[in-house]
Amino acid sequence: MVVADDFFFSGLNIPGNTSNPLGSRVTTVNVNQLPGLNTLGISVVRIDYAPYGLNTPHTHSRATEVPLVLEDTLYVGFVTSNPADPDKKNKLFTKYLNCGDVFVFPKSLILFLFNVGHKNAVAFAGLSSQNPGVITIANAVFGSYPSINQAVLTKAFQVEKKICKNPNMVVADDFFFPGSNIPGNTSNPLGSRVTTVNVNQLPGLKTLGYSVVRIDYAPYGLNPPHTHPRATEVLLVLEGTLYVGFVTSNRADPNKKNKLYTKYLNCGDIFVFPEGLILFLFNVGHKNAVAFAGLSSKNPGVITIANAVFGSYPSINQAVLTKAFQVEKKVIDYLQAQF
């Protein structure tokens, strides 16, 4: 029943309507619009910008993006996942792109594109998935339905190049890590501590696609909204009660909000967080809580949303943030000062 039209889509010569608060419009051509893309692992978009229009900070949970600028000048950037050293900030990479320029946004990292010119701008982009998904950070964190618990949000907003060892030099300790019975120090503003066991701590995980973490929570401690760009997480609660949740990627209908899925977990309960989606875990009890989690990558990465968006180095341009979050500059000043 396949016909030529299954491989055909027309209309990308038509400008998108940018009459909206962000001043941009994305016209998507993925497997939903073009059935012939099924199994091919690629899709395309056209992005139109009014003067000073913004494609707001977002992620593609299943794809790398490569945009090509066709008209005018865009200021673009992406923020790395959290550094291994918790005292170091997420790194922001930015570039001004003119007509004919190409830039790469790695899979699942937070990115933005901003028209800095007085004229309309146009870009096309290829994405490495037939259905890449999109998570607009501001909408997902502050506009999900139902809303993320405000206690979570108020508290939240205060790769790897391992070389395989010579097989003749491998020892049993390469597959061993002690100490996951020791509680982490939760004396910090969030009241939580993640003890990570990935390929950096346990070399035997190399090539195995797996890692584990222990998460300790003080009473009302929070593991704030974050993503794992390279892994699905499966959580097991050992002590206490956790309120957990994740937010879906952006809906096909732009008038519908990101969906929030939440659950209260007790000792012995398990919950799954899909790869690349924004998730959080909050201790709602008066006692300490403990959880262990397995992740489907030897080095899953983590992007803490508040730190990445408001605490990157150098800082994301405030014109980008005020437009993305639809707030006044003084609000952005306050949030950036917290990180």
Element (H, E) at 336: helix 329-337
Listed in order, strand segments (DSSP E) in the chain are: 24-29, 43-49, 54-59, 65-71, 74-79, 92-97, 110-115, 121-127, 135-136, 192-197, 211-217, 222-227, 233-239, 242-247, 260-265, 270-273, 278-283, 289-295, 303-304
Other Cβ atoms less than 10 A from the Cβ of 125: the count is 23
Instruction: Tell whether residue 223 is among the known ligand binding residues.
Output: yes
Instruction: Tell whether residue 226 is among the known ligand binding residues.
Output: yes
* Distance from C-alpha of 252 to C-alpha of 6, rounded to nearest angstrom: 20
Q: Are 113 and 105 in contact (CB under 8 A)?
A: no
**Total length of the chain:** 339
Instruction: Tell whether residue 58 is among the known ligand binding residues.
Output: no
Q: Tokens 């950036």, residue?
A: 336
Residues 6+ apart with CB under 8 A from 168: none
Q: Are 57 and 308 in contact (CB under 8 A)?
A: no
* Distance from C-alpha of 137 to C-alpha of 140, rounded to nearest angstrom: 5
Element (H, E) at 142: helix 137-142
Q: What tokens were used for 287?
A: 């006692």
* CA triple 43-44-45, angle to 5 deg: 140
Instruction: Tell whether residue 286 is among the known ligand binding residues.
Output: no
Point out the annotated binding site for oxalate.
223, 228, 233
Point out the annotated binding site for Mn(2+).
226, 228, 233
Point out the annotated binding site.
223, 226, 228, 233
